[in-house]
Amino acid sequence: MAGTFTTRTVTLATGATETMHDLTNACSAFLREVAHGRNGLLNVFTPHATSGLAVIETGAGSDDDLLAALRDILPADGRWQDRHGGPGRGGGHVLPALVPPHATLPVVDGELRLGPSQSVVLVNSDRDSSERAVRLSFLS
C-alpha cells in the first residue's frame, strides 16, 4: 500500500508580546481527521524568522522559564547586527537556531504519541506580528 501525505496550515493569533502557544490540541484534531488509525509521522513547521517549535511541559512554569531563558540568551538590545524590525530585534532572528522552526513527532494508531507531560508549542518572539502560521503535515 502506498503512503499518504496530508497537509494543512493553522493560523494563530499571537498578539503583541513574546508568547508560547500550545499546539497539542490542534495537532491531535488534525490527526483525528486525517490519520484514520494509521501509523506515521506528524511534521509541524512554522515559516517565520522569529518563531520556533518546542516539545515541552506546559502549565508547571517551564513555559515561562523557556521564555525567560530566551530573553537572557537573546536580549532585546543593540548588540545584534541584524536590524530587521528595528533596534533590539535582531535576537529574535537568531531564535530559530535555538528553537527550530520544525518538529517531527510519532503517530501510532492515528494518535500523537508524546510523553505524559509533553506538549507541542509555538515559541514566538515577534512583538510586531499579531498572527503566525503553522503547517501540520501527516505522512503515513
Q: What is the DSSP letter of 59?
A: S
The strand pairing partners of 52, in sequence order, are: 123
Q: What is the pLDDT of residues 17-39, one digit of tens each?
A: 888 999 999 999 999 999 999 99
User: What does the pLDDT read at residue 81?
Assistant: 74
CA distance 35 to 53: 22
Q: Are the C-beta atoms of 42 and 27 separated by less than 8 Å?
A: yes
User: What does the pLDDT read at residue 76?
Assistant: 79
Joined grid coordinates for residue 81? 547586527
User: What does the pLDDT read at residue 108?
Assistant: 98
Q: Which domains does the chain have, with CATH numbers?
A: 5-139 (2.60.120.460)
User: What does the pLDDT read at residue 1?
Assistant: 46
Out of 41-50, 74-83, 120-129, the most confident range is 41-50
Out of 21-30, 63-72, 85-94, the most confident range is 21-30
- Whole-model pTM? 0.91
Residue 31's Cα: distance from chain center in Å?
17
Handedness of CA 97, 48, 27, 16 (dihedral sign): positive
Inter-CA distances, 75 with 12, 24, 29, 80, 98, Å:
25, 28, 36, 9, 14
User: What does the pLDDT read at residue 84?
Assistant: 65
Q: Average pLDDT of 114-124?
A: 95
